[in-house]
Amino acid sequence: MHLRDKQILKIALPSIVSNITVPLLGLIDVGITGHLGRASFIGAIAVGGMLFNIIYWMFAFLRMGTSGMTAQALGARNLTEVVSVLLRALVVSLLISVLMLCVQIPIRECSLRIISPSEEVAALTCSYYNICIWGAPAALSLFVLTGWFVGMQNSIIPMWVAIVQNVANIVVSLVLVYGFEMKIEGVALGTVLAQYVGLLVAVCLLVHNYGRLKCYLQTGMVMTKAALLKFFFLNKDIFLRTCCLILVHFFFIAAGAKIGDTELAVNTMLMQFFTLYSYVMDGFAFAGEAMVGWAIGARLHDIYDETVRHLFRWGGALAVLFTLFYLLLGSPFLTLLTDNADVLAAARNYQPWTLLVPICGMAAFIWDGVYIGATATKGMLISMASGMVVFFLLYFLLVPLWGNHGLWVAFVAYLAMRGVVQTVMRKSLLKWDNL
């Protein structure tokens, strides 16, 4: 196996394991509340989980920005900047956390007003939210630490942190709910405690594996004006890009609900095909962030070009494999998700669209990793905004004519447009003079 392939897999495979553990936190909460005897408990977990997913998703720049900047500093052998990037991002994450805690009530009330759940679900969601919000410092700090570890070419530590966090969540939630009869409050407290357990493990592994870097700490370099301007300039683009992504994905679900209950159920299930694919492709995007950032920092043009070529080979192979998997085993996969005959029959009408997801989405995932590693965040924002515009144009043009088929055309085109724009812009934005 080629050296570059070994390096890619060394980062990608643990990252895939980490990605797959992410939805387990929500599934664990749903599984526990599903046995408490009231449907409103599940509804509260669904609403609360969605709310925190949106909140934390918006601050994903803490991971992405940290990853690219760390990898470049490591490639340049600037260990002072490697340490400074970590501390700078941690300080920013803690400031954001404090701000979130200060305005937690307005966030909660505005969110519930927009979502408009029933009174019983709203009351339970408030109980869940009021506890889970105190996990924000741990959650955002873990974003930073994960990005830093990936930038340091190490995805093993984030994998173990994710595994420990999930085990802690299961154990603590079960003890609190069934041992202390805390019900939804126990689920929320279990989630928060698990987040802090994950943070503690991450910090311990940080000290154990990278404690020697403390000699490179120069406090005067951490919060300089120039460094902060660069940090916020890069992360501004990622933040806006994430807002566009959230808008498209949640509008997709809302649009399905507007078309009909059956279509909502079908789209929710079929989106699992996209989610499964994204967990795997994100692992290779992480590899791109780390390896491209390192090559650029080290000013090694040949390794940069070689890394991009090998990333796209892996992306192309995976796109073909996932397409074949969905073609041959898509229907059995759907039967694992539901036994409702009407929903399954409707899903098979729209299932062919899932075959286009891997091919149309591959370039966007790989280029995202490359652009993050190159800290070419402007290109990510432009491509995502272009994809969003295409999505909404096709939605308003085609949904009145083709219904849910039109919605899927819009979504697939949105994925493809992101990759096309990034491919076109790579010659101007990924020039070495700009990096």
Decide if pLDDT at 136 tops 90: yes
Q: What is the pLDDT of residues 111-122, one digit of tens each?
A: 888 767 778 878
Cβ neighbour number for residue 389 with a 10 Å cutoff: 13
Q: What span, in angstroms and rounded, lies between the C-alpha atoms of 120 and 113?
A: 14
pLDDT tens readout for residues 219-250:
777 777 777 888 888 889 999 999 999 899 88
What is d(CA 393, CA 182) in angstroms, rounded to the nearest whole number? Answer: 48
* pLDDT band per the 50, 70, 90 thresholds, residue 26: low
pLDDT in tens, 320-375: 999 999 999 888 878 876 666 777 788 888 889 999 999 999 999 999 999 999 98
φ/ψ of 234, rounded to 5, equals -65, -45
Strands (E), 26-73: none
Whether residue 36 contacts residue 20, with contact meaning beta carbons closer than 8 Å, is answered with no
Burial (CB < 10 A; 0-12, 13-18, 19+), residue 129, is buried
> How far from 100 is each of 104, 113, 148, 220, 248, CA to CA, in Å?
6, 18, 23, 27, 24
Give pLDDT, residue 199. Answer: 97
Q: Which residues of 244-280 are buried (b: 16+ CB within 10 A; e: fewer)?
A: bbeebbebbeebbeebeebbbbbbbbbbebbebbbbb
**What are the pLDDT digits (tens) for 376-417?**
989 999 999 999 999 999 999 998 999 889 999 999 999 999
- The secondary structure of 96-127 as a DSSP string is HHHHHHHTHHHHHHHHHHHH---HHHHHHHHH
Q: How far apart are CA 211 and CA 72, in angstroms?
A: 20
Q: What is the dihedral of CA 325, 329, 333, 339, to 10 degrees?
A: 160
- Residue 77 CA to residue 304 CA, distance in Å, equals 16
How far is it, in rounded angstroms, from Cα 422 to Cα 429?
9
Give percent above pLDDT 90 in the chain.
56
How much is the pTM? 0.90
The encoded tokens of residue 104 equal 């937690």
Domain boundaries, the chain: 1-223, 225-435
pLDDT in tens, 269-313: 788 888 889 999 999 999 999 999 999 999 998 999 999 999 999
Spatial separation of the C-alpha atoms in residues 345 and 60, rounded to whole Å: 37
